Structure 1
Amino acid sequence: MLWPYNYCNCLLSQVVRTQQVVTATLGEDAVLNCELMKPEDARQVTWQKETTRANENVATYSKRGPYVNLPFQGKVEFEDEGLQNCSIVIRGVSRGDESCYKCLFNTFPDGPISGTTCLLVNVRCVASMSFSDVTKNASMVIPASITGEKCL
């Protein structure tokens, strides 16, 4: 009896197209795409940020239009507004934005259908080298250091 359940889950996962991972550099914008691949009567699309405690609602799009929840206003905007294709952009990503985000289509009569994208935030690294007096044809050691976390 497990086979039909797994088969059904596999088919449902193909209904919503998202990127599995989006990588952005600290301070840049990140676009998270989400598209419902088959015609469904979608009533609402909700983007949620997955946290250790619970999923936090980020933004919602319905026939009444877009709404970004208060903690995300000025940070998150809709890139594409629609009940079949609904993408968001996270402006100036920070380390706190690094998480997985669920795109949830509330459909009738089938119920919720979702896809997930994980956002990874990289930082630019700073490399530095120091030189002292160099003699022609002499061997030398050049001290170098790279600072940054999850460098590009």
Structure 2
Amino acid sequence: MHRNPRAVLRAAVAALLRPAAATAPSAASRQALPKATPAPTLAEWRPLPTAALPGSGSRRAFSSPAADYGKDVDEVNRKFAEAREEIEAAMESKETVYFNEEASVARDAANEALAAFDALLARLPPADADSLRRSMGLKMEQLKAELKQLED
């Protein structure tokens, strides 16, 4: 900290209160602002057609096919993460009295994630389904392998 904080504050206030001429830019460095256009009068104003408004007509006019399935992909990812956590919990409880119950919960969670992935693939157009299979297929195979490891 500075030795004399009041001196620092005084210097800051003095810098702020300098005359405007000392801090104002010169006339040569100022740029001319463009002229403002006048607002339209009420007689000149025309409403937009209702088809151009976002809330009217089809909602799909503003969404892409990839965005339509984004929530479904997020849901599959959430179920995948949940299934992995359940499998991990079951593996930690191996050789305890809780293992059978934990394994059952893990099996159900994994099967739910795999079913959601398969259902999403079935709903997608072939090109999008192939893309999703390439991006998430290994994760689902990993889930199947972990489930199989749990059974052993």
Q: TM-score per shorter chain, which class?
A: under 0.3
Name the TM-score, length of structure 2 as normaliser. 0.20
Structure index of larger Rg: 2
Please state which structure has a larger fraction of its residues in helix: 2
